[in-house]
Structure 1
Amino acid sequence: MTLLHYRPTADNVWQGRVDGDTPDVRRWHQVVRRVDISKDPLPVLHPGHKGIALLGFACDEGVRRNKGRTGAAEGPVALRKACAAFPVHFGAHILADAGDIVCDDGQLESAQEALSATVQHILQAGYLPLLLGGGHEIAFAHERGIRRHAGTKQLGIINFDAHFDLREPDAAGPSSGTGFWQTAQERREEGKPFHYLALGIQQNSNTPRLFQTADALGVEHLPASVFQLKYQERLIGAIKAFIQRNDQVYLTTCLDVFAAAYAPGVSATAYNGLIPDALFLDCFRTVLRSGKLAGADIAELNPTLDADQRTAKLAASLVFEIVMNYYATFAA
């Protein structure tokens, strides 16, 4: 597979403690299969086994255009390192690392097209794409790759985010804040419905026009203020109802949805964001255990702004949840 903007993962990224090489003590860095997909195919999946392919999007051009704080291009490497020491609880299922799509020349649109094509390649090989950002401009490209592979299947979008990301592109072009507006326009041109559920929206982070745009596009949304135990039934009910209306689900998580104490390493911190507690995990796992997950990503990890690797560790814990729940859902 010939790819523009492609870079395989370096040898020194997956490293960590070694307690032995028997199945009961292995860690992720011992079993992850690094693949240079510009030269080699992803490993063949045998019957009864599932595969997840990690793919980085080393890009923060969308954040720069959005006038945010750059640095998220370093997120994929930091996130891999934060995952390296996780224990292996998924048996013979395959966890592959397919490298990064890189945007270091300002050509965001070209990098997004490369990312979409690579997502299609991963799906065609039978793997779940699990993308590591990078700015939230990852979402437009990731969703487009899944949609192109899905064909006539209805693809729903679930976004944990403080922001709608429904702005129309300005003179600077598409950015980290325009992804779902772009997706809505593409779906309209294709004659496909736009099903989008945004969870964790902050009123102090979205203009009235964005709320109006969301209403005009039929976007379903729940604010950060309902992430309380007394609203648990409402939250889970809304997520389950949305999933039921779709054949497949694309899950994206922007780390700025969390409170700054837990996620200081993002472009736009939120003092009153979500707490990554049992309630949040219940909502998150509801999506992961639906059997309809077609792709997932973690966006906006900015290691240059992180404190004590708190954001990287939070992001890594979400990756762990995605991996474990996906494999459990499709256990042989």
Structure 2
Amino acid sequence: MKKPDFYRQPVAWTGRIDGTDEELLRWHQRIIPVNLLTGTLPALKSHQQGIAFLGFACDEGVRRNKGRVGAAEGPVALRSACSNFPVHFDNDLIFADAGDIICKDDQLEAAQAALADTVLTIRKAGYLPVLLGGGHEITYGHAQGIYQHLQQRKRNEKLGLVNIDAHFDLRIPGQEGSTSGTGFWQLAQDCKLEGVPFHYLALGIQANSNTQQLFRIAGDLDVQYVDADAFLLQDKVLLQAAISQFLRDVDHIYLTVDLDVFSAAFAPGVSAVAYNGIRPEGLFLECYRSILQSGKLAGIDIAELNPSLDIDNHTAKLGASLLFEIASNLHYH
């Protein structure tokens, strides 16, 4: 790793043990901790797939964005909420925990660079990076790592960015630099510099959470978006058409889920709660699963869990349920 000061090695998962027979196993009994400073992810055989969990213990971007801090503890809470999940996948899926990237001395940009470097390592090993946030500043480092991997492959492959979120995260960085709300604007500028297309689909956008300027920037960048009303009013045709068309137009997908897209009744533990957010059921699950099952997934993260604001772990359990869906519907590229 290029920035070892920003890396924290994984801690062993613990939980309930009902036995060691395969049909009794839980996630904590299958997880393989890997210290990337001293070792490598297990080599995958041709018939195997691998998931590498990586935490991003950082909320400096939330602080800079004038939000409520606490998301740096999100990775610990997500792992805890996942630990006792029963195993419903076979031995051909390798489960690894690659530790955490931490933000040292408020050096967000350095932490994002370390995150990109680690995501690149995971992708080169053939694993799907499944990142545990952390504030939504996770997007910039995570997507950068995927772009770098595609550049090294030199196959002219198109990466599509899908953000399930109430916010565009297209803010222009100010004097402090990157924040939790600037990630997609930064990626758009990087794409412009590199001469590669910027493919961005946002699902769940709330008019009351984005200024006119952000909608204008989205238009200038040809961002595709579907607002939260499509979920609230059960507009299945609109959502399926938008997702299907986007999937057809790209070769790989980076997917990020900001937990503040969900109604406060389901996700109270976030920096910016949404009283009228979408519901994590029915139509949302259908859309989410269609992306997981597309065969084009190159990386996914769950962002903005703030355990200090959670109520009876509701938000942590919601985030964990989204991670469970990944293992159950995994088709990655």
Q: TM-score, normalised by structure 1?
A: 0.97
Q: In the aligned structure 1, how far is the partner of 2:234 from the partner of 2:324?
A: 27
Match of 1:6 in 2: 7
Q: In the aligned structure 1, how far is the partner of 2:260 from the partner of 2:233?
A: 21
Match of 1:144 in 2: 144
Aligned partners of 1:132 and 1:298 also within 8 Å: yes
Match of 2:298 in 1: 294
Match of 2:214 in 1: 210
Q: In the aligned structure 2, how far is the partner of 1:262 from the partner of 1:180?
A: 26
1:257 aligned onto 2:261: yes
Shift of 1:229: 6.0
Match of 2:203 in 1: 199
1:275 aligned onto 2:276: no
Q: Spell out the pairing of 1:96-245 with structure 2 (5 A cutoff).
A: 96-151=96-151, 152-228=156-232, 230-245=234-249
> Residues 44 and 201 from structure 1, CA distance in 2 versus in 1: closer, same or farther, beyond 3 angstroms?
same
Q: Identity over the aligned pairs, expressed in percent?
A: 58
Q: In the aligned structure 2, how far is the partner of 1:38 from the partner of 1:318?
A: 29
User: SS of the residue aligned with 1:264?
Assistant: coil
Shift of 1:47: 2.2
Match of 1:83 in 2: 82
Match of 2:14 in 1: 15
Aligned partners of 2:267 and 2:315 also within 8 Å: yes
Q: In the aligned structure 1, how far is the partner of 2:209 from the partner of 2:305?
A: 18
Q: Any runs of at least 4 consecutive aligned residues in structure 1 with deviations exceeding 2 A, and if so which?
A: 1-4
Q: In the aligned structure 1, how far is the partner of 2:327 from the partner of 2:241?
A: 24
Amino acid at match of 2:66: K
Aligned partners of 2:234 and 2:283 also within 8 Å: no
Amino acid at match of 2:117: A
Flag structure 1 segments of 5+ consecutive residues without an equivalent. Answer: none
Pick which of 164-173 and 223-232 moved more.
223-232
Q: In the aligned structure 2, how far is the partner of 1:201 from the partner of 1:231?
A: 14
Q: In the aligned structure 2, how far is the partner of 1:134 from the partner of 1:159?
A: 15
Shift of 1:287: 0.5
Q: What RMSD, in angstroms, separates the aligned Cα atoms of the two structures?
A: 1.0
How many residues are paired up?
Answer: 326
The superposition leaves residues 54-74 of structure 1 with CA deviations (integer Å, 9 ceiling, x where unpaired) of 000000000000000000000
Pick which of 28-37 and 230-239 moved more.
230-239
User: SS of the residue aligned with 1:52?
Assistant: strand
Q: In the aligned structure 2, how far is the partner of 1:211 from the partner of 1:47?
A: 45
User: Which one of the candidate residues 315, 320, 323 is aligned to 1:319?
Assistant: 323
The superposition leaves residues 178-218 of structure 1 with CA deviations (integer Å, 9 ceiling, x where unpaired) of 00000000000000111000000000000000000000000
User: SS of the residue aligned with 1:175?
Assistant: coil
1:303 aligned onto 2:307: yes
User: SS of the residue aligned with 1:144?
Assistant: helix
Aligned partners of 1:264 and 1:307 also within 8 Å: yes
Q: In the aligned structure 2, how far is the partner of 1:236 from the partner of 1:272?
A: 22
Shift of 1:39: 0.4
The superposition leaves residues 117-139 of structure 1 with CA deviations (integer Å, 9 ceiling, x where unpaired) of 00000000010000000000000
Shift of 1:148: 0.8
Q: In the aligned structure 2, how far is the partner of 1:28 from the partner of 1:264?
A: 26
Q: TM-score, normalised by structure 2?
A: 0.96
Q: Spell out the pairing of 1:16-55 with structure 2 (5 A cutoff).
A: 16-55=15-54
User: SS of the residue aligned with 2:72?
Assistant: helix
Amino acid at match of 2:101: I
User: SS of the residue aligned with 2:329?
Assistant: helix
Aligned partners of 1:228 and 1:279 also within 8 Å: no
Pick which of 230-239 and 273-282 moved more.
230-239
User: SS of the residue aligned with 1:227?
Assistant: helix
Flag structure 2 segments of 5+ consecutive residues without an equivalent. Answer: none
Shift of 1:228: 4.1
User: SS of the residue aligned with 1:159?
Assistant: strand
Shift of 1:105: 1.1
Aligned partners of 2:6 and 2:102 also within 8 Å: yes
Q: In the aligned structure 2, how far is the partner of 1:98 from the partner of 1:193?
A: 31
